Structure 1
Amino acid sequence: MPRHDALKRSVPAQGGDDRIPMKLIGSIIAVGSLAFVGILTETVMTVLFPELMREFNVNTSTVQWITTIYLLVVAATMPLSSYLSRRFTFRALFLAAVALAVVGSLIMIVSHQFALILLARVVQGVGSGVATPLMMNIILEQSPRSKVGRLMGVGSLVITVAPAIGPTVGGAISSVLPWRAIFVIVIPIVLLLSLPVGLACIRQSHPTQEARLEPLQFIAIVLALGGLIFSLNQSGVAVGSAVSGDGSSAVRPAMLGVAALCIGVGSLLFFGWSSKRSFSPLIRLGWLHDRVVRLHLLPYLLLPIVGIGFGYVITNVAQMSLGTSAFLAGVLVLPGALIGAFFAPIGGMLYDRFGPVRPILGALGVATIGPILLLAFSMHLTPVTLAGFYFIFGLGYSLGYSNIMTNALSRIDRVFTPDGNAVFQTSLQFGGAVGTALFSTLLGVAQAGAGAEGSATFRRATAVGGAWTFATMTIICVICLVSLIAAFRTAGGHGAQVARD
């Protein structure tokens, strides 16, 4: 399908008026700020793990569930966004996300039991899982045709910047205030900015439908995503235990990891099978028959492994290999995050002006240089070079990442846009969870048996683990480039065939 015709079907015509409506800008600000706060708290908590372990008297494998359960809930909620978009109005979904964000923050503020903290993270995860796809659906449905790329770039700020600055924000706030102050700050932002602006600006662009929720499909996708992420988590625990010489402790997590993997894969296959046979599937998957769309979906899944995983890798390599403080380690991600805030909309503008090929491939080519340089200098890094090479990756990533989804969704019928958005957003969350699990495992394996933290051998082992992670990042980036080159060649060949016909 030619890109022009597909884009024409995906984005509503504006009668020749390409101005961006003020109410659309207000809607993006309202829902975007809500989604930003949700994603920000996801990575803020990782810096607070040592403090939380002391307060609640839990170990590392237990405290990490504060992040893992949040990611599981977000990943499980996002597939519902297609059904929710068809069944409920944008305003109703927005108000639900606001209520969940506030209630979750209140529970975090008053709770002094670890189980209640996990409950709060579940509530917040549902809110974030509703808000982020809602923002993208509003942009895709209501943007002027010639501005969809830049507005998707603005929307991607939420996705790329919030996880990047989370460690910095968490380190800064926790250094001067109790960690609960983070959630005290969240509530006024939601109630005084997001809520009033959203009520004034959010409008409905399509009628609701009598869509039905298929319980078995929802359970299947929850088990699939939860099983795969839990499998990665337990596999990392097992490998770390085995490498450290404690083989007996590795048996149980290894068995749990294999069982979770079987459940995850089996549930995913069942979900795909049942979706084809359902009258009203949870997510309509027919649009995935387009090979070009699938070749876009792969890098959209893989790149967050690198993009979100960088937040973990930089802060840990900086502290455990270079000997920086937690605050400085968090600050090192700021340059890359700030460049993302500036260049994501510019990447969308380049897409609108030049089409998808050069803006996407050029940006990802630049992004790939970052991990290549980090790999080349991995044993001789300084805080400045660590931040500088990440800056290069952040520049390319912010310029190109959101355009991948924009271009993929431009090829499918507008009626299936919520389904495509749900799959792409779920892939992003899953990729981010994979990145943290994968890179923490690589660092843990390298550090096993290397002596006490802070010793010269431990620092060198961490640097070696960093080299492994940077090599993995480079491979992922290259795979993404190859996939997108194949997508554009396929799309070009299809367009030529249509012209001959």
Structure 2
Amino acid sequence: MLETERETEPETMPKNTTHFEQQGNSHQSNSLAEEAAGKESSMHERSAQPGRYGEQHLMRFVLSLIAVGGFSFIGIFTETMMNVIFPDLMREFHIDSATVQWVTTAALLPLAAIVPLSVWFNRRFHFKQIFIISGTLFIIGALIAFWSPSFAALLVARVIQGAATGIIMPVMFNMVMEQAPASQIALFIGFGNLVVSLAPATGPVFGGVMASVMPWRDTFLIILLLTVALLVLGLFTIRQSHEVNPQQRFSALQFAMVSLGLVLFMVGLQQSGLALEAQIAGKFELMTTLLGVGSLVVGICLLVAFGFTALRSRLPLINMHLFQHRTITRIALACLFIQMCQLGQSFIVPNFSQIGLGVSMSMAGFVVLPGALLGSLFTIVSGRVYDAIGPKIPMFTGISMATAALVISALLAWHMNATLLCLLYALYEVGYAFVYSNSVTLGLSSLPVNLSSDGNALINTLQQVGCALGTTVFAVTFSIGQYLGTHSHGLTQAQASMWGAQMAYIGMVGAALLYVALAAPQIISAARSRATK
């Protein structure tokens, strides 16, 4: 059982939460040559850490992960479920397709804004306290969504649910890095990513089925019951493995800069993409252009200002000194590019299958479903393989499969059919399952245990950037191909969609190669380090 069973709150700051407060200046002088020694010591530290579960009590840890991961699942599941009932919302609230998209945006923006707070939450609150806060927000959000007499009320509910998701998602991985048996870290990180990846696959199916048999509001009652059940499970199983500081200081300035910067960056990308599409179509939309460019510029300036402020802070929201660690830096950036591919696929496959291949909306879901389910399954398998033989074979195999799927999709875009698209998407998702989850394991395992939450915050923040870039870049690329095909080359809408999909796939191949360039040296280095032990 855990040695840290008590959940008392210490009066003073624990050592493992003030690493950079005490040694911030010394880290600036560390050379990259010391990183290999740091990796070895961090692995010994993980093996000896008293907060880890033993094999005989592993079931309790698994149940606690199910509770915490269940909340993360609900957050993402609800988002994808809502996409299916957009037509019902448009009819009931008398809104257009552009307005209804705010149901998704209203959840994504607070999620992105709150993720950088994960380190502060980890230092200030017990895991169980964070879990209760998130569960309470989920319950409030579900009740408001069930009531929602207006579209504005529904948006309020989605904002609350997005905030709840942003609070709880990092907790699952922080618990794994602190409490999982050292020999099974990759397996349990795979379990965490299974939860995250399974939600988008099941959300549309659940939403479609439920919307056909009951009013859309009633689906939130089911979500409410599931939330309460998970809350009870977590209250009895979640344990604390590190001390916290109730007096942990909160920098409102840093939070304002990084959260507002991320939100403006995401809004700016979206609006800039719309302005570019309009420009290519021969229209100049002044307000959209100004909003897009202005938001991008201000957002980037705020993020840069946050970086400089965090570097000078003794207790930064995101530890910018992590960029002195080569492995976590390169892996976090690599995750950004592979996440761009993932979001690009999530947009291109259903849209290409409907517009380019002429399949129905329901059939488009079945094109995506096998790949999503296989990817979720192999996320667990990839973690077991990583734990057993190290990162080299599973990660290089995974990125080879994912890149091959993208290359073949680009080459055969003009000869694609629904079956082939389904197979190629499944191949990509299996490859992605071996890449992303193990990348997170490799990056976080390179850090000392007391910096795991900082590394997790860095990866999650860059993940949000990758999501925003992937959706905007490849959606705009697809639209540009469609427009040029129909207006400059006289193609039909379906043929032009094939051209747009081909352009998007070529861009995704480029992003996958950037992942390889960033991650390959660290994968090889980690494999050599493992072989010498």
How is 1:66-465 mapped onto 2 (pairs within 5 angstroms)?
66-192=103-229, 194-209=230-245, 210-247=247-284, 250-448=285-483, 457-465=492-500
After superposition, the Cα gap between the structure-2 partners of 1:269 and 1:221, relative to the gap in structure 1 and judged at 3 Å, is: same
Q: Match for residue 18 of structure 2? A: none
In structure 2, how many angstroms separate the alpha carbons of the residues matched to 1:177 and 1:444? Answer: 35
User: Structure 1, residues 11-64: CA drift from partner, whole Å, max 9, x if none?
Assistant: 653699555622111110001111111011222223333433333233333222
- Separation (CA, whole Å) in 2 of partners of 1:414 and 1:383: 46
Letter of the 2:376 counterpart: A
Cα distance in 1 for partners of 2:304, 2:181 equals 38
Give, in whole Å, the separation in 1 of the partners of 2:521 and 2:370: 32
Which whole-Å CA distance do the structure 2 matches of 1:17 and 1:197 have between them?
A: 20
Are 1:364 and 1:481, in contact at CA under 8 Å, matched by a contact in 2? yes
Q: Per-residue deviation at 1:495?
A: 10
Single out whichever of 456-465 and 176-185 deviates more from structure 2: 176-185
Shift of 1:4: 4.0
CA RMSD in angstroms, aligned pairs only:
2.5
Unaligned runs of 5+ in 2: 1-34
Residue 383 of structure 1: how far off its partner (Å): 1.3
Distance 1:180 1:463 in 2: 38
Per the alignment, do residues 376 and 173 of structure 1 end up closer, same or farther by CA in structure 2, a change over 3 Å counting? farther
TM-score by length of 1: 0.92
Shift of residue 186, structure 1, vs aligned partner: 1.0
Question: Displacement, 1:220?
Answer: 0.4
Secondary structure of the residue that 2:298 maps to in structure 1?
Answer: helix
Amino acid paired to 1:286 = H
Distance between the aligned counterparts of 1:344 and 1:11, measured in 2?
23
Per-residue CA deviations over 1:135-168 (Å, capped at 9, x if unaligned) read 1111111001101110111011122222244333
List per-residue Cα deviations over 1:400-423 (Å, max 9, x = no partner).
211111111111121111111112
Query: In 2 relative to 1, CA 262–242 (structure 1 residues): closer, same or farther, beyond 3 Å?
Result: same
Q: Residue in 1 aligned with 2:5?
A: none
Which ranges of structure 1 fall in alignment gaps of 5 or more residues?
A: none
% identical equivalent positions: 34
Q: Secondary structure at the match of 1:431?
A: helix
Q: Distance in 2 between matches of 1:217 and 1:260?
A: 18
SS in 2 for 1:58: coil
Q: CA deviation at 1:174?
A: 3.1
Please, which moves more after superposition, 475-484 or 443-452? Answer: 443-452
Q: Hey, what's the Cα distance between the residues in 2 that align with 1:20 and 1:263? A: 50
Check whether the contact 1:44–1:170 (CA below 8 A) recurs between aligned residues.
yes
Q: 1:361·1:484 contact (CA, 8 Å) conserved in 2?
A: no
Alignment-mate amino acid for residue 305 of structure 1 = M
8 A Cα contact 2:177 2:185, kept in partner: yes
Determine the C-alpha separation between the residues in 2 that align with 1:495 and 1:397: 23
Q: Report if the CA contact (8 A) 2:485-2:491 is conserved.
A: no
3-state SS of the aligned residue for 1:255?
helix
TM-aligned CA distance change 1:179 to 1:475, over 3 Å = farther
Contact 1:30 1:197 in 2 (8 A): yes
- Find the aligned partners of 1:253 and 1:474 in 2 and give their Cα distance: 30
